[in-house]
Amino acid sequence: MSMSLDGYVAGPDQSLANPLGLGGPKLHTWHLDRTNMHPVDEAATAELLRPMGAYVMGRNMFGPIRGDWAEDWRGWWGDEPPYHAPVFVLTHYARDSVEMAGGTTFHFVTDGFDAALERAREVAGDRDVDIAGGASTVRQALAAGAIEDLYVDITPVTLGAGESMFAGISLDLTQVEVTYSPIATHIHYRVS
């Protein structure tokens, strides 16, 4: 998860026009702006994009729509999302699965985090399942004890408000590795 120095993974006022909230795009320059990418950020980007067996994400990460679905919404990523695996989206509103180019299929799960994780583990087999975000989904995964390794990419910006990944969560973490560049500090934690 990309995070601001003051602990937010998305800025305030998320909307269709500002999907990451006000200031939120600054959190991701370390892996999205490839013009001056530092080798440390290249390695962290490769780790971020490594193939997974399946993903679990929250509805807000898939799209900003609240309430019933706008059936034509297919996510933020265009015709070929970067996942290339099944993605289980947590939602309160049922929707048919959406197949995309490159092997990504979004499945919409209405019976909670545990059910989404179970389905993801089934299709992943012996491959890893990634909790893709957003903040609420990561908090649910941490509360369920479903995360073994946590990767936090801290950018040197403050947002002042927004979505906190750790709100209401008490954790014991073991720091495994820290690397840094001028635009991000990459920390790998093992969740105790």
Residue 6's nearest CA partner among 31, 30, 23 is 23
Cα 142 to Cα 89: distance, rounded to the nearest angstrom = 17
Domains of the chain (ranges; CATH) run 2-13+21-64+80-191 (3.40.430.10)
Average pLDDT over residues 187-192: 95
The Cα 158–Cα 6 span in angstroms is 5
Are β-strands 105-109 and 98-99 bridged in parallel, bridged antiparallel, or unpaired?
Answer: antiparallel
pLDDT for the residue 66: 76
Residue 14: which of 137, 158, 159, 154 has the closest Cα? Answer: 159
Q: Kindly state the average pLDDT of the residues 50-70.
A: 88
What does the pLDDT average to over 85-113? 96
pLDDT higher than threshold 90 for residue 72: no
Q: How high is the pLDDT of residue 127? A: 96
What is the model's pLDDT at position 71? 65
Give the containing element (helix H, strand E) for 152: strand 149-155
